[in-house]
Amino acid sequence: MIASSLKKLPFTREISLAMLAYMYLPVLVLVAYSFNANRTATVWTEFSVAWYGRILTNASIQAAAVNTLIVGTIATLCATLIALLAALATSRAFRGLKLVEAGISLPLLLPEIVIAVATLLLFMALQVELGLVTVTVAHIGFCIPFAYLPIRARLNNMDQHLLEAAQDLYADRYRTFRRVTLPLLWPGVLSGAVLAFVVSLDNFIMTFFVSGPGATTLPVYIFSAIRAGVTPEINAISTLMLVLSVVLVVVSYRLGQSGKMARQR
């Protein structure tokens, strides 16, 4: 009813289109100028893909990409495993459940810079040398709620009668989990893992605060390079990251939809 009421307001469609243009036209311009042959990023001359070839042969960009993939892969695997265990642990009511769920979801509510500063202070208090390990640990903690929510939602909608049927057939808890629970949870687990990887891939603030020498990721590299001005290489890197993020988000969405269709059947 709220949506229908908003549609009756004057200029609703025009304001919505203006806001969409404000958000997405700069992205389209960035993508377009990544194919600009001119070194000057704001002066168009002719179409070219030369800048994509240059970033693929740039040693600094390659090192940053490798660091990004290493951190993202490890953070995704660890965060998804922890989120799966947390979802299973919170699937049954117990005293303090709301407090535990609030603690898991806290990184979604707090400003990221607050979490980044707190994480940096923790590493400094523990006298841990900043590097790729600290970046990975920080990403694991930050990605857990993003992996937890799809798994928890899938677990909430699971048919409990299937678990009861497995127990009636004398299946123990491990076999019930392996043969029934995990296959039913698998779309949610994959969806959460994809979201966690996207969050780790695009994370800048957390990485910037807790990274050290040799731990530069692509977002940090882009931030450092853009201080000297926007170049077609930066546009090309940003375009590739944009494409990868969109593909992964679509995959995560389709996994969630496949899980809903399976429940309806």
Give residue-wise pLDDT tens across range 153-200.
Answer: 888 877 666 666 666 566 667 776 777 777 778 888 888 999 999 999
**Confidence bin at 68 (pLDDT 50/70/90):** very high
pLDDT at 258: 63
pLDDT at 99: 87
Fold category of 58-264 in CATH: MetI-like fold (1.10.3720)
Rounded mean pLDDT, 125-140 = 93
37 near 46, Cβ under 8 Å? yes
Task: Specify the 3-state DSSP secondary structure of 47.
Answer: strand
Rounded mean pLDDT, 117-135 = 93
Residue labelled with tokens 């940096």:
120
Q: For residue 41, give the DSSP letter.
A: T
Rounded mean pLDDT, 124-131 = 92
Rounded mean pLDDT, 214-237 = 84
- Report the C-alpha gap between 57 and 60 in whole angstroms: 9
Q: Which two tokens stand for residue 260?
A: 């809903």
18-27, 169-178, 211-220: lowest mean pLDDT where?
A: 169-178
Q: Does the pTM of the predicted model rise above 0.75?
A: yes
189 near 80, Cβ under 8 Å? yes
pLDDT at 80: 94
Crossing angle of helices 132-156 and 59-89, rounded to 10°:
40
217 near 156, Cβ under 8 Å? no
pLDDT at 58: 85
